[in-house]
Structure 1
Amino acid sequence: MSPAGSRRPSLRVERALQRDGHRVLAGMDEVGRGALAGPVTVGVVVIDETCRSAPQGVKDSKLLAPHARVAMVPRIQRWAVAHGVGHASAAEIDEIGIIAALRLAGCRALAATGIRPDLVILDGNHDWLTAPEDIGLLAFAHDDPVETPPVTTMVKADLRCSSVAAASVLAKVTRDAMMVQWGAAEQYAAYGWVENKGYAAPEHLDALRHLGPCELHRRSWRLPGGVDDDGDPAVGCDQPYPTAPTDLTRVGER
């Protein structure tokens, strides 16, 4: 087992932050940032001092087998004070850019919890949740404005903090289920999303070259088949953006 795989997240960081006065904490993580199709998805898990150690086996979602991630979801939901998952669609990514889309998905995830935590622990070294002062809080017309709480960033937080690892599991399972359900539909089957979840796998790139992008692709990105030799958009699926599926049990093997 690699050194990264042998690490086990704990609540040490969270307990230290709680002793500093941040009683209600939210671990947050995202998945799908580098995909070519589908949403970017943010998971959030809220805990307080009453939450004991996380369910056994909770770790960064990338280190868990698909069936283990799915089995972990109800245990995480029972353990947390509150939890939520938010998405920003491919169309929204095209409209506002990936960083603002991450912020939008994060705000939606926080809104789903119904709780404003004292502090958000964000995986990585960049605070993409807090809106720059010059643009104010991001909100679409159909979203209620969300005042983002204070944020602390931490590199490898998904390996160190149980709350962040748990959030990564919720985000990964939810997004995978969406991509599998869409990928099983006839009009999207050629892209191989059941297996690749919208990432740049060879079969996905080949389908893009032959079919062009569909409405679930991030069309503002440089996609194979996105523009033909005459400079015109390539022909792909052109249907309204479908409703996100909610069945989290239909996930693939990757």
Structure 2
Amino acid sequence: MTPKDAHLRFERSFKAQGHRLIAGADEVGRGALAGPVSVGMVLIDATTAKALKGVRDSKLLTAPDREALVPVIRTWAAAYGVGHASPAEIDSLGLMAALRLAGTRAWLQVLAVARPDVVILDGNYDWLSAQPQASLFEVTDGAGCDVPVHTKIKADLQCLSVAAASVLAKVERDAMMIKLADEYPAYGWEANKGYATGSHRAAIVDKGPSNQHRQSWRLTPDSPAMAAVELSGAGPL
């Protein structure tokens, strides 16, 4: 069965509450052993936005299809941004705070163009909203997202703004990993994009982890550290 394109029905439902500028957000790289965690955000005007053919959750698209959609999405969107948090930031802050940091960086790019009324966030947990009291060790890039955030399970399959955000984030993060693969050829990042394939783990055992690996994570079977995302059973995104 051919996957269906994402649509705008959920985004348009906010018009009844007087909201016009709707942002969709999604993350990629959450389950990887190396490289950043990345957050995409796409803003639309729910009163004027049209459907966009071929856009769906980035995991359901081929790499060439994702790359071809990037300029289309950028032209279609009222604003967009992609933010990243480095492996060192993931190690020092923890995964949820690193997601918030990456999301804040994407939020600020969108905010430079227009202020969303609400944000739709894929999943069932709001890791994006600004925290009333951040950790003393958490680096912030200015004020975080301070508008209502609506979490929605499988929003990346159903909501066009969220699916578009996932495509932008996936393409940008994949390009970063391919570039890093030139500097660290032993780990096969041009193919695995930093995720936990057998050959990637074997390379870590053989060569040791690089400074682009998440040092606090379970990088090898006998590693004492265990990432929260692995405990939860989350897979590659």
In the alignment, which of 133, 144, 147 is matched to residue 146 of structure 1?
144
Distance 2:52 2:148 in 1: 26
Q: Aligned ranges for residues 180-219 of structure 1 at < 5 Å?
A: 180-185=178-183, 188-219=184-215
Q: Deviations over 1:228-249 (max 9, x none)?
A: 9xxxxxxxxxxxxxxxxxxxxx
Give the direction of change, closer, same or farther, for the CA distance of 1:117–1:102 in structure 2 (3 Å limit): same
Distance 1:147 1:78 in 2: 24
The aligned residue for residue 240 of structure 1 is: none
Q: Aligned ranges for residues 124-163 of structure 1 at < 5 Å?
A: 124-135=123-134, 140=139, 143-163=141-161
- Which structure's CA Rg is the greater one? 1
The aligned length equals 222
TM-score, with length taken from structure 2: 0.88
Q: Is this contact kept in 1: 2:12–2:47, CA < 8 A?
A: no
Give the direction of change, closer, same or farther, for the CA distance of 1:226–1:198 in structure 2 (3 Å limit): farther
**Runs ≥4 in structure 1, deviation > 3 angstroms?**
131-139, 225-228
Q: Which has the higher contact order (CA 8 A, sep 6+)?
A: 2
Distance 1:30 1:226 in 2: 28
**2:107 is equivalent to residue 77 of structure 1:** no
Q: Is this contact kept in 1: 2:103–2:128, CA < 8 A?
A: yes
Q: Give 1:148 deviation, angstroms.
A: 2.6
Distance 2:107 2:42 in 1: 9
In the alignment, which of 161, 167, 170 is matched to residue 169 of structure 1?
167
Q: Give 1:131 deviation, angstroms.
A: 3.9
Q: Give 1:7 deviation, angstroms.
A: 2.7
Q: Is this contact kept in 2: 1:179–1:194, CA < 8 A?
A: yes
Distance 1:226 1:196 in 2: 21
The aligned residue for residue 104 of structure 2 is: 107
Q: Deviations over 1:60-99 (max 9, x none)?
A: 0001010000000000000000000000000000000000
In the alignment, which of 23, 35, 46 is matched to residue 49 of structure 1?
46
- The secondary structure found in structure 1 opposite 2:53 is coil
Q: Is this contact kept in 1: 2:6–2:55, CA < 8 A?
A: yes
Q: Aligned ranges for residues 216-227 of structure 1 at < 5 Å?
A: 216-224=212-220
Amino acid at match of 2:56: K
Say which is worse superposed, 102-111 or 219-228, in terms of deviation.
Answer: 219-228
The aligned residue for residue 248 of structure 1 is: none
Distance 1:138 1:117 in 2: 28
Name stretches of at least 5 consecutive residues in structure 1 with no aligned partner: 229-254
The aligned residue for residue 228 of structure 2 is: none
Q: Is this contact kept in 2: 1:28–1:167, CA < 8 A?
A: yes
Distance 1:227 1:26 in 2: 39
Among all aligned residue pairs of Structure 1 and Structure 2, give the percentage whose two residues are the same amino acid: 55
Computed over aligned residues only, the root mean square deviation of the Cα atoms, in angstroms, reads: 2.1
Name stretches of at least 5 consecutive residues in structure 2 with no aligned partner: 225-237
Distance 1:103 1:225 in 2: 29
